[in-house]
Chains A and B, each alone.
Chain A
Amino acid sequence: MQRNPQLNSKGELQHLLSIEGLPREVLLQILDTADSFVGVTEREVKKVPLLRGKSVFNLFFEPSTRTRTTFEIAAKRLSADVINLNIALSSATKGESLLDTVANLSAMQADIFVVRHASSGAPFLIARHVKPHEHVVNAGDGRHAHPTQGLLDLFTIRHYKKDFTGLTIGIVGDVLHSRVARSLIHGLTTLGAPDVRVIAPQTLLPAGVEALGVRVFHDMRAGLKDCDVVVMLRLQNERMRGALLPSAQEFFKHYGLTGDKLSLARKDAIVMHPGPMNRGVEIDSSVADGPHSVILPQVTFGIAVRMAVMSIVAGN
């Protein structure tokens, strides 16, 4: 096996490509740094000069509003210059290759590339070809990983639950296509969460998912029993009909989070969702807007976590 391409020779974070394979200390360093940035985002002058003079290129080969925006805000709060490139609409459609696009932007003196791509592993390819002083942050690649989302989920869980070592976490829905689920699972197992469950029909679970260190439940009620944290995954429109699922209604019947099902979890359980939500498909509005929901704080924490990631990689 090759050396973990995310770490430099000193074992520090050079790129953030995946939570898998990151040592516990690196994860905690990111979470602790993010903690210190939460204060910044609440101040009147929401800026620190850590990345002054640096350029952050948001390279989105796949459309995104929320993730791109929170990266942009995070970079600006670190005083970086931010350039947004919506490549789904430009070079790629003109036939320019991924590496050519990156080489051209690199010639414009980039410091950090924030990359989203529909193909699993694309940020690894880019990281192999950038200059030594450049950093790559994965903002979601195919079904593989969405490490900053995973980290903000970990941050949120730690914020409300303080510690991972006694927790039961249920992850519900389309695990097969979910980079969010994979990143969160790796983070939770690395930080010592003892009981991570995935709750889904067979059609939405990848082969041998147990090898990631999770327990599989098909019955949502059994899976939610005594959960401290419930993470609902987004179900994309195109999966709602066809051979994976018969209909959105039927999915909601079996795997939609209602107040009734949530009552099986612990009384102080928190409910999370990476967004964007499909109300009435994955989650009932009364739960999404209810007292257990921490869905909006997740978004706020997401900025602090992305500030932490960018400031750490740029400093290494």
Chain B
Amino acid sequence: MIFLTVGSRYGFDRLVRAVDDMVDRGEITDEITAQIGLGAYEPRHMHYERFIEGNRYDGRMRDADMLIGHAGSGTISLAVTNCKPLLVLPRRKRYHEHVNDHQVATARKFEELHHVLAADDAEDLPRRFAELHTFVPVRRLARTDELADRIGAFLFAVEPKIRRRAR
């Protein structure tokens, strides 16, 4: 099963239309379900929902063999933690898909590290999708404990000053 997700914030018609066209042309034959957010384009060749909340979203993620999505950190994070092959298309400022082109940088960075595959544009999706079938994402070793610990150290350091203020 393939799960297409565009995140919870904006629609992403360019991606949804491109994938819908791939299903239409027979380039995607696997069962596919799409989460399209507030997008104006309504898929004609695949099942879709606008928003999928909480547990059901996690379930879709777990059930999927492959993921296609925008290059949002939430989507990439879920794919990497679930060890799912993910193909991303970054949102672009010039199409008014985001405030800036940070998703292009995110996609490039995570592709360099072999955690995801990234398509440059919609025309590039079929070629990259063909690679997704054999793509094995590299596991990521995050220093999350160290980050949380640094914030903890900061909070412990400011605590006495806060106490003084309270008195």
Answer yes or no: are A and B bound together in one complex.
no
